[in-house]
Amino acid sequence: MISERSRTAHSESAGHLAGRALDVLRGVEGTAVAAHVEEAGDPAVALGAVRMLGADVLAPYALTGLALPPGEAEAVRLALDALPPVQPPPAAPPAGEEQPWLMAWADWGLLTLLSAAEPADVTGSPPLQPPYPQGPPQYDGSAPRHLPPTAAAGPDGDGAVREGWAPWSVRMGRLASLALPGLDGPVHDAARQGAVGLARGAGRATLRRDFATAARIARWLAWLHAEGVALPLDPAPLTTYIQLAGGDGGRLALDTAIARRLLGLEPV
C-alpha cells in the first residue's frame, strides 16, 4: 500500500516537474525532464513524476515545434524503462479498473509524442543510468482499445445506460495530457462529440472552485477551439479566470498555459 508520505512525495515531484515544463514553454533555457531527474534526491520518485505528467512533459516541444535538447529524450525513455507500461493495455471501466486504463492512455500519448519529437541521433550526451538493474519488456505504443463513454445520457440501443456528462467530463479532464498538438485518436473523437459535456464540466468545476479540474477540462475546450470545433462558450475568458483564480504554480499553471497557447492568447 502506498503511504501518505510517498503519495505526497510523488505529488510534490510532479508539481516541480510541471513547473520545469512551464519554464521551458515560456522560453527559459534548459531541460525539463533531464534536469528534474538529475537533480532529484530520489530518482525513483522523479521518474514516477514523469509518468504522472505523461505527454505534458513534452508539451513545450509539441506546442513550439522545437527539437528535443540532448538528454531530454533519454530521460523520458529512462522513466518508461524504470516503470514500463502495462502490456496489453487494461480493459476500460467498468470491466477494468479506471486508474490503469487512464495510465495506459497517458502512456500512449507520451510515447506517441516522444516518437515524433525524438531526434534521430541522441548519442551526443551520455544516457542517464536507470536505478533498476532489470531491463523492461518492450512496449509497442499501441493505444488502449476502449473509448471513453460518450457524454450523452439515456439508454443505448442495447438497454445500457450511458454515463452522464458530469463524471464523464471529470474523466476526460484526467486525460488532459492528451489535449496537445500531434495527438489524435479515439479519446479526441470523444471530445469532439462531447463539446457540450466538456463545457458543462468546466463550468461546474469552476463554480465549485475546483480549479485544478476546471483547468484540465478547459484544456480540451482549447484543443477543440484550435481544431475549429464549434463550442457553446468562449474558452478564452474561462481559461484566463481559472489561471487568475487558481494560482501560478504547479500542474494547474501548466494546464492553463497550454490552454492559452492553444487559444492563441500567448505567442507560440
**Which residues 6+ apart lie within 8 Å of 251 measured at CB?**
14, 15, 18, 53, 212
Q: Taking the model in full, what pTM does it have? A: 0.84
pLDDT tens digits, 114-150: 988 765 444 343 333 322 233 223 334 455 655 555 4
Closest among 62, 63, 20 to 265, alpha carbons compared: 63
User: Alpha-carbon distance 239 to 150, whole Å?
Assistant: 24
Closest among 230, 233, 223, 229 to 263, alpha carbons compared: 223
Q: Is 161 helix (H, G, I), strand (E, B) or coil?
A: strand
User: Alpha-carbon distance 107 to 139, whole Å?
Assistant: 10
pLDDT tens digits, 187-237: 898 899 999 999 999 999 999 999 999 999 999 999 999 999 999 999 999
Report pLDDT for 6: 75
Report pLDDT for 83: 82
Residue boundaries of the structural domains of the chain: 1-145, 147-151+161-268
